[in-house]
Structures are given as C-alpha cells and as structure tokens.
Amino acid sequence: MVSFHNSDEYLFNLHATSSSEAKRLWKKNIKDKWDNKCAYCNSENNLTLDHITPQSKGGTNFTKNIVCCCHSCNQSKGHSFWEEWYFSQEFFSHENYEKIKIWMKPDLPVNLVQYSKKRNNFVS
C-alpha cells in the first residue's frame, strides 16, 4: 500500500483509505488550516465545523464553505447569514473577516490545457 505524506493526498486517493478515515482527515485538515482556532472568535475550546453559508440557505459541503468553529459560535450563528451574524458580535474582527472572505474564494484552476488559435490554411 502506498504511504501518503499529508491528509490532502489521502482525500485525493480514496482508494488508499476508507471513506470514514478520509472524512476524519478532511475535518482535521480544515481545523489544522485554521490553526485549531474558531474562525470567528479565535477560541480553541470545543471546536466543531461550521457551514459559512448554511445548507438551509443554499450552502454546500465543499471545503470552501466550511470553517473551524467553536460550539458556542456555531450554536449562536445557527442558520443566519454569516456576515449579518458576525458583524453583530462583540468579538468581530476585521482580520478574521478578511481571512474568511479569502477562504471562501474558489481556488484558481490548475493544469488546464491552453489551446492556441487555429490558423485557417485554406487556399482557394
């Protein structure tokens, strides 16, 4: 069996691990990318994952819509739109707000083939 170096490799190589192990590694990876701190209040206690845009409001289960979040913030936010909720919190931070906005941006495509324009060599 192949040994992978980090959790990202396991996620892209599901044949090497069970789906439950891949999900556990995916969750751990998100928490690690947020330095095991709540994305909203920076708490390190009782961490969970939160859908930035709630699924009830059209949010997805994709990584870019999920952040590390403490249980207290997760319960307080509930099904609210995150910006409305976050702006009203006494622990609101412009720095964390910007981090979340950057996190939500889709990754740039990689390894895409770029085609050049075709020349018309038709001679009449």
Q: What predicted TM-score, i.e. pTM, was given to this entire model?
A: 0.74
Per the listing, tokens 């330095």 go with 35
* Rounded Cα distance, 11 and 36, in Å: 20
* Rounded Cα distance, 7 and 91, in Å: 31
Please list the residues that pair with 1 across neighbouring strands: none
Which has the minimum average pLDDT: 77-81, 87-91, 116-120? Answer: 116-120
Count of positions (residues) in the chain: 124
Give pLDDT, residue 23.
Answer: 86
